[in-house]
């Protein structure tokens, strides 16, 4: 079999997780991979175009991908205390945002989905790369922004305040951890290949957790603008037991998110089995 195309982001949690897989440090059942690192919304677009065999995508995007891709149980970002934040300049409130432009890090990001579920009246969304949002809010180009990734740790440096933690809102509403991004595989790869990829990915997560220092150079090569402290905080926040295996709690959280998004008309309904099964 030719090398499988594999897309993930340059964020520290992804490079940490995929290091072992990419660098031959775990068994892969003879499979080889061709990596492509892109920002999350670019990855969503590539998956929507069917351009990658395996891809990290936002769960929002997966709502449109279920006929073509299945969800792997390892390698994703799902947890507690790690949701997107709504931030604004001082003095603003959530009610102030209705009818005003609010920046989100892409149409198909889970951040955009959560904002629509939390307050449908905030509906004037402006899509921009995640790393541009804080500056746009600070300059007054938008009324507020929904921030993700390492922006959680640096928004105060821009003089911004937090209006809402969308992960905290989700956990309060549902009791579930928040599904942010998952790893998907093209269904036409065949179930046996997909299961082998899932097992290799689980091994890669386990390798990273057991050898946290080995991937440091690879992580830093793709996150040069971050300090070591922010890189470490990023990994600690987004890599957890759910990254190794979703388990019943994680799977239930994903199903709950899709159920609510379908009921709100944000994603189309689907009755296709979400996970691979022999």
Q: How far is CA 198 from CA 61, 205, 244, in A?
A: 20, 11, 10
Least Cα distance to 16 among 207, 229, 246 occurs for 207
Taking residue 211's Cβ as centre, other Cβ atoms within 10 Å add up to 12
The active-site residue out of 23, 60, 131, 149 is: 149
The verdict on whether residue 88 carries a ligand-binding annotation is no
DSSP assigned state of 97: G
Q: How far is CA 146 from CA 67, 68, 71, 103, 107, in A?
A: 29, 29, 25, 6, 12
Q: How far is CA 182 from CA 75, 110, 119, 137, 206, in A?
A: 7, 11, 24, 28, 17
What are 229's two structure tokens? 């402290």
The verdict on whether residue 56 carries a ligand-binding annotation is yes
The verdict on whether residue 100 carries a ligand-binding annotation is no
Q: Judge whether 149 counts as a catalytic residue.
A: yes
Q: How far apart are CA 147 and CA 155, in angstroms?
A: 8
Instruction: Return the sign of the alpha-carbon dihedral for residues 4, 7, 8, 10.
Output: positive
The verdict on whether residue 110 carries a ligand-binding annotation is yes
Q: What is the crossing angle of helices 228-238 and 12-22, to 10°? A: 80
| Helix, strand, coil share (%) of the chain residues, nearest 5 | 45, 20, 35
Q: How far apart are CA 78 and CA 71, in angstroms?
A: 13
Backbone angles phi, psi at 56, to 5 degrees: -80, 125
Q: Which residues are annotated as a binding site for substrate?
A: 56-58, 110-111
Q: Known catalytic residues?
A: 149
């Amino acid at each position: 079999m030719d090398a499988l195309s594999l897309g993930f982001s340059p964020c520290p949690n992804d490079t940490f997780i995929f290091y072992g897989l990419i660098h031959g440090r775990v068994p892969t059942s003879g499979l080889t991979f061709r990596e492509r690192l892109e920002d999350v919304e670019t990855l969503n677009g590539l998956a929507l175009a069917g351009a990658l065999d395996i891809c990290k995508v936002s769960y929002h995007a997966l709502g449109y991908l279920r006929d073509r891709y299945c969800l792997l149980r390892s390698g994703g970002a799902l947890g507690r205390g790690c949701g997107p934040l709504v931030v604004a300049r001082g003095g603003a409130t959530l009610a102030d945002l209705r009818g005003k432009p609010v920046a989100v890090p892409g149409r198909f990001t889970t951040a955009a989905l959560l904002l629509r579920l939390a307050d449908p009246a905030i509906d004037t969304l402006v899509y921009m790369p995640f790393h541009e949002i804080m500056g746009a809010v600070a300059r007054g180009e938008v009324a507020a922004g929904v921030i993700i990734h390492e922006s959680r740790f640096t928004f105060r440096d821009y003089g911004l305040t937090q209006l809402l933690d969308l992960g905290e809102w989700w956990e309060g509403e549902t009791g579930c951890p928040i599904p942010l991004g998952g790893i998907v595989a093209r269904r036409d790869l065949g179930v046996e290949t997909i299961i082998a990829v899932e097992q290799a990915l689980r091994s890669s997560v386990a390798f990273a957790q057991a050898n946290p220092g080995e991937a440091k150079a690879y992580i830093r090569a793709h996150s040069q603008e971050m300090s070591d402290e922010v890189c470490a905080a990023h990994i600690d926040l987004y890599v957890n037991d759910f990254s190794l295996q979703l388990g019943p709690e994680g799977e239930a959280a994903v199903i709950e998110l899709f159920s609510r998004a379908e009921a709100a008309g944000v994603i189309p309904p689907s009755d296709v089995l979400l996970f691979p099964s022999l």
